[in-house]
Amino acid sequence: MNSHILFVGGGNMATSLISGLRSADCPGERITVVEPDENKRTTLNQSFGVNTTAAASADDLAADVLVLAVKPQVLRDVTQDLAPMLGDHRPLVISIAAGLPLTALREWLGTDLAYVRCMPNTPALIGAGATGLYADDSVDSAQRELAESILASAGMTAWVDTEAQLDAVTATSGSGPAYFFAFMEAMQAGAMKLGLDNDTARQLVLHTALGAARMAIESGDDPSTLRENVTSPGGTTEQALNQLRDGDLEALVGRAMTAAAERAATLADELGND
């Protein structure tokens, strides 16, 4: 990758992307990170060989790509400080700040920039992320490809057609890891009630989850087919699944995801109007 990338913010998500980019042979000298925390700057520089600075300069903002990786609550102040230094330069802007709508970014940073808004998730920290991306008509095909290559350094990517669909992404992959963690917790507790010790229960649950996910990805079959393949009529799995159906698991999950999506939309309105 020959583009120069400026990260504003050097937290966990930025670090995961930087790690992925460096692993993909993006030269460290083409990455600059603006991070006020000295310890984080030192770690980023020593770990990845990237440039770091406590505050952005006009020269830094001459980058091809500007990645906004700060907390949504401070993004307004950050972007309004950056805007005057852009001058006539028009980088591709990638926002990984959760919940901030493009209308707010355009108001704060500039209306004539190309923006891509992303919703990554925490497994990106280990290179196993799932990120939804949205770009409007201001983003050309080359910029879309560039944005995708940056986010794909931390896992899989998927484009959505409308910005509103990012709320669905939030409810699916953004919040999704917590759903699986909660199910793992419940399975571990159930295994212990059946007599397994904590460590044995934990290892069996975690590796079962890992194996199931790998089968779903590598087999190419849909989850319903995989479920049917391991459910013998009258067997133990069928009895367990009957209990989940009686509890209306599908409806419960649907309600949970709807609540997450609605909350994402509400937060976007609140953040955009602050």
Per-residue pLDDT, 271:
72
Q: Are residues 187 and 136 in the same domain?
A: no
pLDDT of residue 87: 82
Q: Is residue 224 part of a domain?
A: yes
Q: Report the percentage of the chain scoring pLDDT > 90.
A: 76
- In this structure, the answer to whether residues 181 and 157 fall within a common structural domain is no
Residue 133 and residue 37 share a domain: yes
Residues contacting residue 139 through CB under 8 Å, at least 6 positions apart = 92, 114, 115, 116, 147
77-111: pLDDT as tens digits: 999 999 999 888 899 999 998 888 999 999 999 88
Whether 167 is covered by a domain: the verdict is no
Longest dimension (CA), the chain: 70
Residue 1: per-residue pLDDT: 67
More confident residue, 3 or 258: 258
Is residue 243 located within the same domain as residue 133? no
Hey, what are 160's tokens? 């959505």
Instruction: Determine, yes or no, domain membership for 197.
Output: yes
Sheet bearing 65-68, strands edge to edge: 51-53, 31-34, 5-8, 65-68, 92-95, 114-119, 129-135, 155-159
* pLDDT tens string 135-152: 988 899 999 999 999 999
Q: Has residue 254 got a pLDDT over 80?
A: yes
User: Both 71 and 25 in a single domain?
Assistant: yes
**Domain limits at 189?**
176-263
- Shared domain for 28 and 115, answered yes or no, is yes
Residue 185 has pLDDT above 70, yes or no: yes
In a domain, 257, yes or no: yes
Q: Give 197-249 pLDDT, tens digit per residue.
A: 999 999 999 999 999 999 999 998 999 999 999 999 999 999 999 999 999 99
Same domain, residue pair 16 and 117: yes
Choosing from 116, 140, 162, the residue where a domain stops is 162
Please tell me the distance from the alpha carbon of residue 16 to that of residue 21, in angstroms, as a whole number. 9
Same domain, 121 and 29: yes
For residue 32, give the CATH number of its domain: 3.40.50.720
Provide the pLDDT for residue 111: 87
Amino acid at 74: V
Q: Is there a contact between 2 and 142 (Cβ–Cβ < 8 Å)?
A: no
Name the domain count of the chain: 2
Length of the chain equals 274
Boundary (domain end) residue, out of 133, 162, 191:
162
Between 89 and 65, the higher pLDDT residue: 65
How far is 273 from 267, CA to CA, in rounded Å? 10
Do residues 137 and 186 both lie within one domain? no
Same domain? For 99 and 22 the reply is: yes
157 and 25 assigned to the same domain: yes
Q: What per-residue confidence (pLDDT) applies to 94?
A: 96
- Residue-level pLDDT at 260: 93
In-domain check, residue 217:
yes
Give the CATH number, domain containing residue 191: 1.10.3730.10
Q: CA of 153: how far to CAs of 99, 131, 266, in Å?
A: 22, 11, 30
In a domain, 11, yes or no: yes
Q: Is residue 269 part of a domain?
A: no
Residue 171 forms part of a structural domain? no
